Chain A
Amino acid sequence: MSGVEGSSTPGKVAAGLRGRADFDPARAEGHGLADSRRAFTTSVRLGWQIESNWTDPLLFLIFLVARPVASALILIVMLEVISGGANRDLRAFVITGSALWSFVVAGMAGLAWSVLDDRERYRTLKYLVVSPSTLVVMLLGRGTARVASGAMGAMIAIGVGIVFLGVPFDVTRVDWGLLVPVMVVGLASIVALGLLLAATVLQSRQDSWSYPDAVAGALFLVVGAIFPLTVLPGALQAVGLLVPLTWWLEGVRQALFPGALSSIGGAGSFYAQVTGRLTPSGGEVIIVLLATTAIVTLAAATIYGVSERRARDRGLFDRTTGS
């Protein structure tokens, strides 16, 4: 069925106010996946614009890189001071770990900050909710934009490490067969953790901008980002092994720097005690990463669903700290 164009004389009425005079029930139907795709790509674009628009591109790039490089440098300096001329392996370990971690933080915080930004700062959350697009799709898009900018920062920081800080890197030795699946699944796990955080801040009545950083900080200790898990007590090592990010970091390190120091295994590690092997193989990393990611994703999806429904029940979509 096609609609009738505005019944009053066109020309007199502004084009924007004209419309269809029928109540075609088909208009209440959407276009399924196409709508979701559109909502997603638009949100990525919006997220990118919000991320990058606040300053000129050059400053933005500097900001993007400064954080991971600076945190890597701080760690390197500490390492040098403490160990007095650290070995190259440990240095590479720290640089990649801290660079990748800033990417994790960006990814995890992205969704939660989108909820907070849109509710508190832009006051658009309720208008997003009353639009036909699915909120979680829009949040994922926004998160993706932040992940992308985080990834750029991480890559540049690793590049700086290779060029200036003597991180041993050989393109011909990169294990692409491991890197690609590990990056894809790892990204999913980061987004799932982000979704969990988004579900949490959706419920919070106070400002909760620091939640993502707090959670990331806690995880930072147990995933083997800047020191191998072996230095932790066994119980904490066990906790770390349940987090997909641990396996993701291990996989990325193994793929980029074959033979590098393992964050999971090693002599005396909890992993070695349980499995009897020194370090996990690439295949093992992929499988465990897949399994832990699946669990986290399932939990995130469930909890987010509950959270969104509860938000609708309690009227939290337009609840702001100030009002």
Chain B
Amino acid sequence: MPSSPVTPPAIDVRELRRVYKAKPDDVTALDGIDLRVESGEFFGLLGPNGAGKTTLIKILTTLLLPTSGAARVFGFDVVADTKKIRRIMNMVAGGEQSGYGLLTTREQLWMFSQFYGMPVRDGWRRVDELIEAVGLSEQRGQKVHTLSTGERQKMNFARGLLNDPWVFFLDEPTLGLDVSAARAVRELVVAWKAAVPGRTILLTTHYMAEADELCERLAIVDRGRILAIGSPAELKKRVQRESLFRLELTSLGRGVAALAALPGVVSATLAGDQAEAPDDRQTVIVNLALSDDSALGGVISALGPLGAHIVALQKSEPTLEDVFVELVGRGFTQEAGDAGVFPAPGAASEARTGRDAIAAVHARETAEDGATADEDERAGATVEPAREPVEPVAPRR
């Protein structure tokens, strides 16, 4: 069995705090983190700049000491068992150009294989296998300083996989890569993880789509605290107050009001931009907000008597970005509320701010293209986290 019951959690962090000594004021980068990642999980850390993600990874990879609290990797303590942890984990960070420029790809990787204690020949064999696996065969004899950013990152991945780590720490691994290089890296990570059960990955990223696509569970971190943990679906559920549907019908006449009156329907509105619909078969688009998915049945059975036929039905899900903005934005608003920077949230309006507030309005007041906006965000893949609500605040630290 890959993960027998005796296998300790891949990552076990308790009450972890890290304070950096800094000039005017000390910086609390981690403010009491509790986290448990089981072996075999693909776990993501999301959070705004300065949230403490890199600090957590640096502690877990033995680059940095915690100020207090405990952190264990496969049961090994980050302070007491550094050597052991170093043998069974590895890490790759993005956005940097690392490597001994004068060596060839192959030489550089072999050198690291020696630092991982591999016998000379095994080292060369492993290096060649990995060069092949990451797709650098053509660059094997090329000097490292001539590699492109993407190629260097692939080489860095090969280095990270040399010791067949039990847990792989990835700190923004696709930062600065073009679309295809980033995809290649993601595919590599997925393939590596799938090849052997039990392999664990801890990933940080600012790309919501990447986190959504890759991670089985996520923690959203802000200012050194974990705001929420769960699968992407669970997290999305947290911010979803109504089920949103986009209904395309042959015709509806004045039936929108009838739909809106049905039990469980919070609102039903005609989408404003009807020009999108193909003109020969005049269709109508209705945005529905339901208190629960089950109310959809009532809506559909009500359509027949209204003479409307369904052309398309689409459920609109909140995106991870909605979750992110909601949580990070709310965390901020609660603290800033007293300072009066932003209006204090009413009990009903969930303290949404900035761009997200608009989304909320769309959802509630049934604006014309709420659903399409959602789709755009998903299609747009790499949306920068909405930082507007957080930036105007004086740092808490």
Contact = CB atoms under 8 A, between A and B. Distances in A.
Contacts of A39: 114-115
Contacts of A8: 194-196
A15 B83 contact: no
B126 A16 contact: yes
A122 B144 CA distance: 10
A146 to B, nearest CB: 15
Interface stretch (A128-136, A252-260, A278-286): A128-136
B386 interface: no
Contacts of A177: none
A235 interface: no
B196 A124 contact: no
Given A14-B191, A42-B114, A124 B100 contact: yes
Contact of A17 (B3, B76, B83, B192): B192
A130 B91 contact: yes
Interface in A46-97: 46, 49-50, 53-54
Contact of A16 (B2, B62, B103, B133): B133
B96 interface: yes
Interface in A1-50: 6-8, 13-23, 27-31, 34-35, 38-39, 41-42, 45-46, 49-50
B198 A28 contact: no
A21 B159 CA distance: 20
A196 to B, nearest CB: 23
A277 interface: no
A312 B85 CA distance: 15
A46 B101 contact: no
B65 A313 contact: yes
B191 A318 contact: no
Contacts of A122: 98-101
A128 B91 CA distance: 11
B64 interface: yes
A314 interface: yes
B90 interface: yes
A315 B63 contact: yes
A318 to B, nearest CB: 7
Contacts of A23: 2-4, 7, 39, 74, 166, 198
Q: Which of A16, A53, A317 has the most CB of B within 10 A?
A: A16
B2 A22 contact: yes
A23 to B, nearest CB: 5
A264 interface: no
A42 B108 CA distance: 11
A18 B126 CA distance: 11
Nearest to B6: A23
Interface in B216-241: none
Nearest to A18: B195
Interface in B112-134: 112, 114-117, 126, 129-134
Given A15-B132, A16-B132, A30-B83, A312 B103 contact: no
B102 A54 contact: yes
Contact of A30 (B87, B107, B132, B133): B87
A318 B62 CA distance: 12
B357 to A, nearest CB: 35
B333 interface: no
B222 to A, nearest CB: 20
Contacts of A54: 102
Interface in A102-117: none
Contact of A131 (B4, B86, B131, B194): B86
A318 B163 CA distance: 21
A29 B81 CA distance: 10
A317 B54 CA distance: 14
A38 B110 CA distance: 12
A20 B165 CA distance: 10
B116 to A, nearest CB: 6
Contacts of B76: 28
Nearest to A133: B115
A17 B197 contact: no
Interface of A: 6-8, 13-23, 27-31, 34-35, 38-39, 41-42, 45-46, 49-50, 53-54, 122-124, 126-133, 138, 312-315, 317-318
9 contacts: A16-B129, A16-B130, A23-B2, A29-B87, A122-B98, A130-B62, A131-B112, A132-B163, A315-B63
Given A123-B96, A126-B63, 9 more contacts: A7-B2, A14-B133, A14-B191, A18-B195, A22-B2, A38-B115, A39-B114, A127-B98, A130-B91
Interface of B: 2-4, 7, 20-21, 39, 55, 58, 61-65, 74, 76, 81, 83-91, 93, 96-103, 107, 111-112, 114-117, 126, 129-134, 158-159, 161, 163-164, 166, 188, 191-192, 194-199
Name the 8 nearest CB pairs between A and B, nearest first: A16-B133, A14-B133, A16-B129, A123-B98, A42-B114, A28-B84, A16-B130, A19-B164
